[in-house]
Structure 1
Amino acid sequence: MPNLLEQLKTHSTIVADTGDFASIKEYQPQDATTNPSLIFKAAGMQEYREVVDGVIARVKADSGSREEFLAEAMDNLFVAFGVEILKIVPGRVSTEVDARLSFDVRGAVDKARTLIDLYEQSGVDRERVLIKLSSTWEGILAAKILAKENIRCNMTLLFSFAQAVACAEAEVQLISPFVGRIMDWYKQHEGKDGYAPQDDPGVHSVTRIYNYYKKHGFSTEIMGASFRNAGEVLELAGCDLLTISPTLLQELQEGSGTVERKLDPKAALQQGEERMFLDEKTFRWMLNEDQMATEKLSEGIRLFAADAVKLERMILEKSA
């Protein structure tokens, strides 16, 4: 019988949540996702020293001020990892816009254009790149602008139904609702050690979004993300895409049993909620009323921003 990972691939598109080329080669996903935390981790690994040093040397030769050097080095480093990843995966790579631009529509749009330009200069078609943006109101507006330029976006740090609805109305390419971080919040606030997969609050959140999207015919793809255990992953079998860490990919590859499809577009027609239409005022109010989503969105932006700063420090040290 096929292992759990092989069976899961028949229900959902599998995406590797890592910047480690070796892991991507081993598990043969369709796509791969990166973020500042993953790139920071990979950039510190000895096997990728040549990639990092090459970017720094190339950028340093024509950089201006310290700020210009750092911005250019960060952009080129993210794209360099993305280009290498695309030599391995047949599909797409997700590359994240600096989280410090989460509330800056113009800044996010300009950064996305810069990243796409760098990919195209490296011979990569924009069809193979997803630009990751925070699912703030400003991030969603930026994605809507970029879609008109054929720049596809992956909306990250998504924790609430309001964020998902707004993304669908903006006709973004893909959303990445965070499963494990939702569970983390509820464990802390409800004083629980954990949840059975079918009772997991993060699983419930993605299931609700999936049913709503499929009932109303939204084309936006749904990619479950930020998993804490294999049970969460298997409970969302059938979700459009699932982005999974190497640790859990290994567990699934070594696991045996039967994978049952949990999410199905036909069943969603009977379960999804009525259509909603959100303006900015309603979006902000709904997000504000969701304590978990408000806190996790804010925390996620701070954590990604902090790792971007760590990566900048690493670049400065290596360039000294």
Structure 2
Amino acid sequence: MRKGMIFIILVSIVSMSFFGIRFMENKETIDMKEELAAEQFIKKHLYEENGLIKTDLKGQSNVYLAETTGLWMEYLVKKDDYLEFKKQAKVLKLFKEDSQLISWKIDGNRKAPANALIDDLRIIQALEEASDRWGIPKYRKMARQMGKDIVRYNMENDYFIDHADIKTKHKADFITLSYLNPKAIHFFLEEELIDESQYLLNREVLVNAPVSKNGFFPITYYPSRNEYEFEREVNLINQYYIGYYRALWGGDVSSLIRFTKESLEKYGGVLYGRFSSETKEPAVEYEGASVYALAILMCLQAGEDDLARQLFYKMKELQVLDASAEYYGGYINLDSLETHTFDNLLPLIAEREAIDEGVFY
């Protein structure tokens, strides 16, 4: 009798799990948020049948970045696209070899020999959020497995470091501040992969980083020397990543917001991609969609909704919005067909976030 009852209970659990997952798949498909134009461009022109996404349409069309997969996964969680996320979770295997570290690039059939912490942490964040959003424990388990190897190979004396050689496990001796993803690092604390003192130590590297006389953040920190390093030519992608992550951790980003407002006013609403750290003058004549996207994410986190809205409309000016055009939805130069997945995925995430936050209607 007892054995029979146990058998019935086990069958019930298995049945509930199976039908629950089937129901959830159908539910998430129905309840997905709308497909945005940039997503249509990515799916039509950059998306491969196996789930990998091309880096561009020209010289790097057979190059696939872990950065791209992580950004795509981050967007899919925000969109509630469970079925596509499920596919991307399997794509991760293509970037792995003999550990849970993610090779930062696949070039043809060759994997790069090192990881990049920023990619691994972004993927861990996406897996954790997917697990919480859809109630799927295996994604949290995947994130935890990755986290264990990050702690083993991408930490040195309690500090996260940039990268490690996947085969030899040789480590870098510095951390790029734009790699310190607060949501992912908090997951490490929740899962007891790091302790509170390690968590606070790495938070302080970002939140307490000094600001230059012109309001820019340093790009690199060397733990062994307790030394920060600034860029001579400031890349705004790095600055806004640091600003966004710093704001997520409750840090002060007023200097970068002030610089943003001043630059938009001085240069006719344009944010150029690079600036001189000494003169605060543009070092290049181009603007990038990813710069606007990261600035939007920082502003949303810092409560600067009006500035986020201004940046949003400026970003959208760089997008092909003619629905009848071949490259509709893309952030692409139509004359040269120059584009990059980064410059499509980050705006896609920023747009989804702006819509969800009610900044853009």
**Common topology (TM > 0.5):** no
Larger radius of gyration: 2
Answer 1 or 2: which has greater strand percent.
Answer: 1
Answer 1 or 2: which has greater helix percent.
Answer: 1
Structure 2 length normalisation: TM-score?
A: 0.26
